């Protein structure tokens, strides 16, 4: 059997924490900032951790080697 490779797109979008959680960039920051409130823009800075079900899917399907 060939080795399972990590998806190249997943490498660029996600990273794993030491405890195994998945870090990802905040959604909703690409365009249309004029219609967002200042509070929304502030809250979407930096990264966030994915919900458990999403994280499990990303690790299993796209990042098998962690």
Strand, helix or coil for residue 14: strand
Q: What are the boundaries of each domain within the chain?
A: 8-61
Q: For 21-39, how does the pLDDT look when each residue is reduced to its tens digit (9 = 90+)?
A: 999 999 999 999 999 999 9
- Tell me the whole-structure pTM to 2 decimals: 0.80
Distance of CA 9 to the CA centre of its chain: 11
Count of alpha carbons within 13 angstroms of residue 56, beta-carbon side: 3
CB atoms within 10 A of CB 52: 10
Q: What is the pLDDT along the chain (66 residues), one digit of tens a residue?
A: 898 999 999 999 999 999 999 999 999 999 999 999 999 999 999 999 999 999 999 999 999 887
* CATH architecture label of 8-61: Irregular (4.10)
Q: How far apart are CA 56 and CA 64, in angstroms?
A: 11
pLDDT at 47: 96
């Amino acid at each position: 059997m060939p080795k399972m490779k990590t998806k190249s797109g997943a490498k660029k979008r996600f990273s794993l924490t030491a405890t195994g959680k998945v870090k990802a960039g905040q959604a909703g920051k690409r365009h249309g900032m004029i219609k967002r409130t200042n509070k929304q823009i502030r809250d979407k800075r930096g990264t966030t951790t994915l919900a458990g079900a999403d994280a499990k899917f990303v690790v299993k399907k796209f990042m098998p080697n962690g």
